[in-house]
Amino acid sequence: MTSAEKPVRRRDSARSKERLLQAAAELLAERGFERTTVRDIGERAGVDQALIARYFGGKTQLYIAVLHAETGDGVPPDLLDSERVLTLFERVGQRGPGPVFQAAVQRPRDPAVQDAAREELQTRLVAPLRELFAEQGLDRPQMRAELATAAFIGVLLGRCSGTFGELAGADARELLPLVRGLLSQ
């Protein structure tokens, strides 16, 4: 076959970007930002790692894209919403704590990563609770929301680490009233 007869290999940039986002989300959840390399992301995605720079600008920008992809559209319900809590328990149970939860307990070295994680944590978890507490007329709604969010993340991490046997083994629906009581104090 001559070079003129070789089939043209087409790149599917949208598919490659999606594969990179998925691979990065998985690896970031498993290892965190610091221990995830662009090489590992490229290998898991099955694409050339150079595409990270082409499509996203670099590892930090890919991390930020992962955070935005996880957020989806709109503001999520607050942490007193039973379905939201069940969904988070299930997601963390299946995939481990994602980048936002990890950033809550482990400070990233990269300031851009830290800022992006903080912003997502505020948007996804703290702000909905702050608004609820403000509507209820509670004093210091921001402080209450941050405290409740920190407690919830502690419950999630303690549950998925297995350190607390009864907590780790409890059915998520059984935990709902306890978590709601903890968060609404």
The per-residue DSSP string of 78-93 comes to: PTT-HHHHHHHHHHHH
Same domain, 68 and 84: no
Cβ-contact 49, 41 below 8 angstroms: yes
Cβ-contact 126, 149 below 8 angstroms: yes
Q: What is the SS3 assignment for 45-77?
A: HCCCCHHHHHHHCCHHHHHHHHHHHHHCCCCCC
Q: Which of 21, 54, 73 is the last residue of a domain?
A: 73
Those residues whose C-beta lies under 8 Å from the C-beta of residue 20, and which sit 6 or more positions away, are 41, 42, 45, 47, 51, 52, 55, 56, 62
Q: How far apart are CA 91 and CA 175, in angstroms?
A: 15
Residue 36 lies in a domain: yes
Same domain, 95 and 156: yes
pLDDT along the chain (185 residues), means of 10: 53 87 88 88 94 91 83 73 89 80 79 85 91 94 95 90 90 92 82
Sign of CA dihedral 129, 113, 23, 10: positive
SS3 category, 185: coil
Those residues whose C-beta lies under 8 Å from the C-beta of residue 166, and which sit 6 or more positions away, are none
Query: Can you give the C-alpha Rg of the chain in angstroms?
Result: 20
Q: How far apart are CA 88 and CA 53, in angstroms?
A: 31
Question: Under the phi-then-psi rule, with left for phi > 0, alpha for psi from -120 to 50, and beta for the rest, what region is 38?
Answer: alpha
Total count of domains within the chain: 2
Range of the domain at 32: 10-73
Same domain, 179 and 95: yes
Same domain, 25 and 49: yes
Q: Which amino acid is it at 99?
A: P
pLDDT of residue 111: 86
